[in-house]
Structure 1
């Protein structure tokens, strides 16, 4: 997967490694992609203030569950807020890591209370596939401000990295109100973040590679938390 590029010489979706082929891109950018969602709602329309007249008129092609078809964005967020899981997710953003979008998308799937971006305010949103619109995303310019925000909410920071002293995830007892903290791809968690975490967990591996992709590691860790603390969905 390649980082985003503003190079005008390469057409949208074109692969720099395989000329003539296309990268996987957002369906909204590709008119040949299969249609998803539902078409216009038959009249008479339901009398429901949560519904968006424009979506009822033209159809709803968003990647949302059926229960939210035709709903306004703010109505979906308000409903999600009534049943958020007490899980927070944090990502260090020092290198404009493309994994951040993937982690945000997974946090949406587990209906996390919040996502925290540490470091740079701007982050690579492509992998999120607009799921950040349904989440509460907070920016923290530095580690102390991030840790202070968690402490104020009674949330325990748990670092996820294969560092000395980490506990295997499968045997770890994660707190219900915790924040899973992930480092940038490559460098991993910084020493400052490690010092601020109440504990460290690692994912047991069985192959030759030293570490998992950060996006994959985040999905595994969130699922492990949900096995114990996750609330039923819609």
Structure 2
């Protein structure tokens, strides 16, 4: 099978994806491993995945991630259809979160997720009480992230290995119910004039703080 015009017969790193498996099945036999997707091998893989997952079936990627996810969860309140949720899901995927929990409105803007929600476990809860119940089932303490009076600097806090980070809406921040449900409330130390940083940025900083304390680099 000849490569289509313009296709690159290479497995080099690319943020734009890769073309068909170099040379086709006749010139270079396809992998026998059933994790590989024949359609992707034949036509190329343009997905937003790291190189080691190129040409893999989506189900195979999820199974591989499930064997290595970190034992922290991320929750975000969604009372006003927050545009940051997609970016938070993407960061949760990047940092290996066990699951993401959407609290409030079930619909959320997936554009910022860059399709990572296909590989990330995402749960929905109607309200904070439902999230608290789920956290109890999972046996994970809830840690709220917001710069409210009484919050502690995350840089000085020993994060539990198993926990659930709870974030509020962009603008209003966490609801009073969310603050009350948390066993600890942490803030990210800032040094500029702005009162707060973007919610998705705060989530990424928080997850990376967990990585610095617990992940096997």
TM-score, with length taken from structure 1: 0.83
Output the aligned Cα RMSD.
Answer: 1.2
Correspondence 1:63 to 2:48: yes
Pairing partner for 2:32 from 47, 50, 61: 47
C-alpha separation between the residues in 2 aligned to 1:62 and 1:171?
38
Q: What is the CA-CA distance between 1:207 and the residue it aligns to? A: 1.0
Correspondence 1:182 to 2:167: yes
Q: What is the CA-CA distance between 1:231 and the residue it aligns to? A: 3.6
Query: How many residue pairs are counted as aligned between the two chains?
Result: 199
Pairing partner for 1:72 from 49, 54, 57: 57
**1:38 — aligned with what?**
18
C-alpha separation between the residues in 2 aligned to 1:38 and 1:202?
41
Indicate how the Cα distance of structure 1 residues 97 and 84 shifts in structure 2: closer, same or farther if over 3 A, else same: same
Correspondence 1:195 to 2:177: no
Listed as ranges, the matches of 1:90-169 within 5 Å are: 90-169=75-154
- 8 A contact 2:48–2:115 mirrored in 1: no
TM-score, with length taken from structure 2: 0.89
**1:3 — aligned with what?**
none
Structure 1 runs (4+) deviating above 3 angstroms are: none
Q: What is the CA-CA distance between 1:61 and the residue it aligns to? A: 0.8
C-alpha separation between the residues in 2 aligned to 1:134 and 1:35?
18
Correspondence 1:230 to 2:215: yes
Give ranges in structure 2 of 5+ residues lacking alignment.
Answer: 1-13
Q: What is the CA-CA distance between 1:35 and the residue it aligns to? A: 7.4
**1:86 — aligned with what?**
71
Which secondary structure state, in structure 1, belongs to the residue aligned with residue 71 of structure 2? strand
* CA-to-aligned-CA distance 1:174-193 (integer Å, 9 cap, x gap): 11101111000001000001
* CA-to-aligned-CA distance 1:132-172 (integer Å, 9 cap, x gap): 11111000001111111111111111000001111001101
